[in-house]
Chain A
């Protein structure tokens, strides 16, 4: 340590001998955390977000029928607060699903689970009005047959994309695919199967090779992936699938631990019943993540034990599992105290106290709508946003097919609705993934806006 300190002294000495420029705020430099579900490599919005970008599915017979990136102004100080301020149609219905930023937060990658297109939006030139920069149309061909690009998760200078399916049988066996931030294909990392575990340890009974979400804990060199189902199922009518016993056998039952640095699978854990979203704790030393199983309605903890080994454990039920409430999106508070869990079938958002990650217990629930999918929290946990759509053919039918974006604030005890936008009435479509934008991420833009900002009337 002494020799390191002495080198650092030399570096800083040469640094300060050369310049009299004042020490600037550390927060101006590389930030390592973000709104609660984003990659740790990304700059974050610490204060009030200005925009929510909503990746929206087109609906036959509604408006222009195609997928679109919808921008809603969510800054209470804006005179456009609570309004749709931009809608960018991308052509076709692609089964718009998830979106996420590059690590520099300059671009938003939004993927289509059906057509395998990846739409890359410029969100930095004008954060109020994303523009389509590039569309990747050859994802399947480039990746060696991976279908259903899902999570687009930022690593330094690159994006890791989880697949859900493949072009051979449209089943669940799939891979992780890496792209550069420029949209160039890098590599395909197949999920471990019994046929080729790739050196991973099958800790239980399953190694199905399925994929869904991905998250990383860089300080532990850990990447975790979850598992859902293949194209045939996620594209099929929900009711038809429930009535098809063979189809119901095609769900993922695994979480895979990867070596983040080498992208090699290390362990395959049994997590039965379709583990979907993964959210990792933020605080230093909190080496654990959560996932929830859609079909079996449980919270699972993925954690590093005191021997440095990663383990998986089911730690709580969500609602009454026998009724299949269908937990979908989850969101962890940045202080690692609360995990929000949405359940699609009953339209409820539930808060679990996860202060003890081994003993989550529900402390709050509220019905948000007839159906409910995504939940996104501001970094300070005070603003919670919801959308309605799960998958085009899984959403409820008839009057229960509510399509909305709703903004709430959370005071630690109750949720109070600030505003709601009816996506059907606005002729937009099915509201799905949300990501935040803010002028504060782009210092030069922030300066522009502060001089022109119109006060809220």
Chain B
């Protein structure tokens, strides 16, 4: 009677599934009929390993003791867990039905037939004796794919198997606490390869002969090298230069017809450079590299410093490395932020300065408060809103405990990590990031007359002449650092501190789409902004309010946004700012005054600035891509 009831219920569902849903009974799973989609073509995809398939003590239907591993390793396995009295039409019967269909389908595929073994294993050893399993399987046997019907001697022997093939099997009890003979469980079928690796786990939705057979064929195809080509996606057509630029290109994002030009991070290929050798060759346009007598460059120090620079574990909570504000492919600064973001998202007041040519800087930080790279590194490491380490000892102890740093300080310095050696290592790496031999250098110092175009040549004349940029961004006849190593008030800091905030600002919310946002709205979600007074914060001299360091202009085309607060997005904006004479204030540097440049002249200046990109930037970025990124293990 029960059999009849179940079968009639099933056939009714097949005919009128909607009515059945109203009766709150499940529709038949896809495995009984056609898949609603075309199963992915075998060999066109990969099935990553889900871990080692476990062994266990089992009994076959001839009452022979076996280990599961006796049946795993020589063939691909489809392992199904059932209990013989299971009555859920979309449960165990589904699994058995699908395996039966597979066996039938593969009758005409001898290679697959001999490569595959079906295993049905009971998780109800008390009822499902070997004899019961023999009965369960007898109508399903026959020629074709081998099918084993297994059980275990006891729940004790079953338990470790279920632990490794988890499926949340729980006995169902009635109101009196008596076992009803049924189980609540997740349906599970496992695909296992010849290396005993689980390669897929199926539940109701994907338990279908089409998907299972194609998965088995996909594993078979792995053994045939030719088929691997099928699984490899077509590679990038992006040219080499773009691979070493910022990969998330948002150029023209303000336009409605913006199109992405994003580069995949998985395509990045690094190539280590001999950084020490590179420093021994004087690049056209740069003076002799200043190296402190107490910290001569060595390959070991540079290598260690490079490792530290890209190590996120150097921050308190392992999230921020030096390189995440000084991003190599973004000009060793961040093109994507006006001002930096530190640990836990804390706001940093200033724009990350580029590290390119930092070896030549006599003052460090925008306010010039440090004078040696060896000391400077501890600023960000300890700042609460940057890398947030609570103490020097904490940082050094942490590094000493990292196994991948074992012996590295000793090799580089003949002593362990210390406040001094950590600074020396990081400084050594940064001291190699020098970049000149730009088109301008080849024109100005190399005497190559066509190295820069006429507009840039005019721009240079303005730079040293009418526009007087070189008064601060200075150069001489042998080399150019484009900085006077001094601090100046241009008014941009004053403007930020003292000007009134507009009531409405325009905010971009999608490509080509802007909306107006009121200051009240912005303030409801904005923290109170911390003031920035520049050099005054170091000297407490009111005359030094809003004075900031003159940055080098080398690689300036790569290091947007500009100024100490990142407030100017493009070079043309910077030229425009100076053309207007900066922003008037009582401490404005007398060198800053209206320049009266016409449009052509401003364009020429920009053309000139764009010739200052060094010839080795791609090599330095490639080297950076080859550096290990330290992450929590």
Residues of A within 8 A of B (CB): 1, 3-5, 7-19, 21-24, 26, 28-30, 32, 40-41, 92-93, 95, 103-106, 114-116, 137-138, 140-141, 144-145, 156-158, 166-173, 178, 180-182, 184, 186-187, 190, 193-199, 205-209, 218-221, 231-232, 234-240, 242-251, 253, 259, 261-264, 272-273, 284, 293, 295-296, 308, 321-322, 324, 345, 392-398, 400, 442-444, 447
- Give per-residue flags for B76-88: 1 if the beta carbon is below 8 A from chain A beta carbons, else 0: 0000000011111
- The answer to whether residues A246 and B569 also contact, given A193-B263, A262-B45, A272-B513 and a CB cut-off of 8 A, is yes
Q: How close is B184's CB to chain A, nearest CB, in angstroms?
A: 5
Q: Would you call B7 an interface residue if the criterion is a C-beta within 8 Å of the partner chain's C-beta atoms?
A: yes
Tell me the bound Cα distance from A321 to B509 in angstroms. Answer: 10
Q: Would you call B445 an interface residue if the criterion is a C-beta within 8 Å of the partner chain's C-beta atoms?
A: no
CB-CB < 8 A to B89: which residues of A? Answer: 26
Binds A, one of B200-208, B453-461, B484-492, B596-604: B200-208
Q: Is the CB of B260 within 8 A of A208?
A: yes
CB-CB < 8 A to A396: which residues of B? Answer: 524-525
Q: List 14 A-B pairs, Cβ < 8 Å.
A: A9-B3, A10-B140, A18-B85, A21-B182, A24-B180, A206-B260, A209-B248, A239-B527, A242-B507, A243-B522, A244-B337, A264-B40, A392-B344, A447-B173
- The answer to whether residues A21 and B180 also contact, given A140-B632, A394-B525 and a CB cut-off of 8 A, is yes
Tell me the bound Cα distance from A363 to B139 in angstroms. Answer: 58
Q: Would you call B265 an interface residue if the criterion is a C-beta within 8 Å of the partner chain's C-beta atoms?
A: yes
Q: Would you call B585 an interface residue if the criterion is a C-beta within 8 Å of the partner chain's C-beta atoms?
A: no
Write the chain A residue with the least CB distance to B327: A169
User: A-side binding surface: helix, strand, loop or mixed?
Assistant: loop
Q: Is the CB of B521 within 8 A of A443?
A: no
CB-CB < 8 A to A444: which residues of B? Answer: 170, 173
CB-CB < 8 A to A187: which residues of B? Answer: 46, 48
CB-CB < 8 A to A398: which residues of B? Answer: 524
Q: Is the CB of A206 within 8 A of B319?
A: no
Near A by CB (< 8 A), chain B positions 301-318 give: 312, 317-318
CB-CB < 8 A to A247: which residues of B? Answer: 336-338
Q: Is the CB of B139 within 8 A of A15?
A: no
CB-CB < 8 A to B629: which residues of A? Answer: 145, 167-168
Tell me the bound Cα distance from A32 to B312 in angstroms. Answer: 42
Q: Is the CB of A171 within 8 A of B97?
A: no
- Give per-residue flags for B94-112: 1 if the beta carbon is below 8 A from chain A beta carbons, else 0: 0011001100100000000
Q: Would you call B341 an interface residue if the criterion is a C-beta within 8 Å of the partner chain's C-beta atoms?
A: yes
Q: Is the CB of A18 within 8 A of B167?
A: no
- The answer to whether residues A8 and B32 also contact, given A205-B258, A240-B526 and a CB cut-off of 8 A, is yes
- The answer to whether residues A21 and B181 also contact, given A169-B324, A272-B510 and a CB cut-off of 8 A, is yes
Residues of B within 8 A of A (CB): 2-3, 5-7, 10-11, 14, 17, 21, 25-27, 30, 32-33, 36-37, 39-40, 44-46, 48-51, 84-91, 93, 96-97, 100-101, 104, 127, 132, 135-136, 138-140, 166-168, 170-173, 177, 180-188, 201-206, 211, 233-236, 238, 243, 246-248, 250, 253, 257-268, 312, 317-319, 324, 327, 329-330, 334-339, 341, 344-345, 347, 505, 507-511, 513, 515-517, 521-529, 561, 566, 569, 629, 631-633
Q: How close is B521's CB to chain A, nearest CB, in angstroms?
A: 7
Q: Is the CB of A261 within 8 A of B139?
A: no
- The answer to whether residues A443 and B48 also contact, given A19-B181, A232-B336, A246-B336 and a CB cut-off of 8 A, is no
List 11 other contacts, CB 8 Å, given A173-B264, A246-B335, A396-B525. A5-B7, A15-B84, A115-B317, A138-B631, A157-B50, A182-B166, A207-B260, A243-B526, A295-B509, A392-B345, A397-B525
Tell me the bound Cα distance from A376 to B25 in angstroms. Answer: 26
Q: Is the CB of B40 within 8 A of A259?
A: yes
Tell me the bound Cα distance from A196 to B17 in angstroms. Answer: 43
Tell me the bound Cα distance from A14 to B238 in angstroms. Answer: 62
Q: Is the CB of A261 within 8 A of B345?
A: no
CB-CB < 8 A to B49: which residues of A? Answer: 186
Q: How close is A147's CB to chain B, nearest CB, in angstroms?
A: 8
CB-CB < 8 A to A158: which residues of B? Answer: 50, 201
Q: Is the CB of B509 within 8 A of A296?
A: yes
Write the chain B residue with the least CB distance to A41: B203
- The answer to whether residues A21 and B85 also contact, given A93-B344, A244-B338, A273-B509 and a CB cut-off of 8 A, is yes
Q: How close is B5's CB to chain A, nearest CB, in angstroms?
A: 7
- The answer to whether residues A193 and B262 also contact, given A169-B327, A184-B51, A186-B48 and a CB cut-off of 8 A, is yes
Write the chain A residue with the least CB distance to B218: A262
Tell me the bound Cα distance from A316 to B214 in angstroms. Answer: 41
Q: How close is B113's CB to chain A, nearest CB, in angstroms?
A: 18
Tell me the bound Cα distance from A103 to B336 in angstroms. Answer: 39
Tell me the bound Cα distance from A443 to B182 in angstroms. Answer: 12
Tell me the bound Cα distance from A93 to B319 in angstroms. Answer: 12
Q: Is the CB of A180 within 8 A of B30?
A: no
- The answer to whether residues A272 and B88 also contact, given A14-B139, A169-B324, A249-B250 and a CB cut-off of 8 A, is no
Write the chain B residue with the least CB distance to A398: B524
Q: Is the CB of A138 within 8 A of B632?
A: yes
Q: Is the CB of B188 within 8 A of A157?
A: yes
Tell me the bound Cα distance from A448 to B521 in angstroms. Answer: 52
CB-CB < 8 A to B97: which residues of A? Answer: 4, 7-8, 11
Tell me the bound Cα distance from A58 to B85 in angstroms. Answer: 50
Tell me the bound Cα distance from A321 to B507 in angstroms. Answer: 13
Tell me the bound Cα distance from A29 to B477 in angstroms. Answer: 85
Q: Is the CB of B248 within 8 A of A170?
A: no
Q: Is the CB of A199 within 8 A of B260?
A: no
Q: How close is A264's CB to chain B, nearest CB, in angstroms?
A: 6
Q: How close is B325's CB to chain A, nearest CB, in angstroms?
A: 9
- The answer to whether residues A206 and B631 also contact, given A243-B505, A246-B561 and a CB cut-off of 8 A, is no
Q: Is the CB of B253 within 8 A of A249?
A: yes
Tell me the bound Cα distance from A269 to B127 in angstroms. Answer: 53
Q: Is the CB of B521 within 8 A of A103?
A: no
Between A19, A248, A308, the greatest number of chain B beta carbons within 10 A of the residue's beta carbon is seen for A19
- The answer to whether residues A190 and B264 also contact, given A104-B186, A156-B188, A295-B509 and a CB cut-off of 8 A, is yes
Between B3, B93, B517, B632, the greatest number of chain A beta carbons within 10 A of the residue's beta carbon is seen for B632
Q: How close is B405's CB to chain A, nearest CB, in angstroms?
A: 15
Q: Is the CB of B184 within 8 A of A28?
A: yes
- The answer to whether residues A9 and B508 also contact, given A180-B50, A232-B337 and a CB cut-off of 8 A, is no
CB-CB < 8 A to A180: which residues of B? Answer: 50-51
Q: Is the CB of B516 within 8 A of A18?
A: no
Q: Is the CB of B345 within 8 A of A32?
A: no
CB-CB < 8 A to A92: which residues of B? Answer: 317
CB-CB < 8 A to A253: which residues of B? Answer: 260, 510-511
Tell me the bound Cα distance from A309 to B186 in angstroms. Answer: 31
Tell me the bound Cα distance from A246 to B248 in angstroms. Answer: 11
CB-CB < 8 A to B318: which residues of A? Answer: 115
Q: Is the CB of A190 within 8 A of B337?
A: no
Q: How close is A259's CB to chain B, nearest CB, in angstroms?
A: 6
CB-CB < 8 A to A296: which residues of B? Answer: 509-510, 513
Between A30, A178, A205, the greatest number of chain B beta carbons within 10 A of the residue's beta carbon is seen for A30
Q: How close is B534's CB to chain A, nearest CB, in angstroms?
A: 19
Q: Is the CB of B173 within 8 A of A242?
A: no
CB-CB < 8 A to A293: which residues of B? Answer: 510
CB-CB < 8 A to B206: which residues of A? Answer: 156, 218, 261
- The answer to whether residues A114 and B319 also contact, given A4-B32, A196-B235, A236-B345 and a CB cut-off of 8 A, is yes
* Closest 7 pairs between A and B when the two form their complex, measured CB to CB: A239-B526, A235-B345, A218-B205, A262-B45, A29-B88, A157-B201, A104-B168
Q: How close is A398's CB to chain B, nearest CB, in angstroms?
A: 8
CB-CB < 8 A to A22: which residues of B? Answer: 2, 180-181
